[in-house]
Amino acid sequence: MSQFKFSCPHCQQHLQADEQFSGKQIQCPACNHLITVPLSPAKLAEGHKTVQSGKTWDTFLPKQKPKT
């Protein structure tokens, strides 16, 4: 996997990610904001323009059954 570098848009922390995370949301390890990983240079060169959106941390939390 190819890695690329980018900065957090909130705190400017320098980050590095694998191409597989392009367009996905992560939590910045420095400021804890939920950010979208930009498209990797390789995906931009291929002409990809879509990013995964609509995902929040709630998306990944298991749903709890109501107590009866």
Instruction: Give me the domain span that covers residue 8.
Output: 3-49
Q: Is residue 56 part of a domain?
A: no
- The percentage of the chain sitting over the pLDDT mark of 70, rounded to a whole number, equals 66
Confidence class for position 19, pLDDT limits 50, 70, 90 = confident
Q: Is residue 59 part of a domain?
A: no
Q: Is residue 60 part of a domain?
A: no
Mean pLDDT, to the nearest integer, of 2-6?
88
Q: Is residue 37 part of a domain?
A: yes
Q: Is residue 7 part of a domain?
A: yes
Burial per residue of 56-67, b for 16 or more beta-carbon CB atoms within 10 angstroms, e otherwise:
eeeeeeeeeeee
pLDDT tens-place string over residues 26-56: 999 999 999 999 888 777 777 655 555 555 5
Q: Is residue 11 part of a domain?
A: yes
Cβ contacts of residue 58 below 8 Å, gap of 6+?
Answer: none
Domain count of the fold of the chain: 1
Mean pLDDT, to the nearest integer, of 1-8?
86
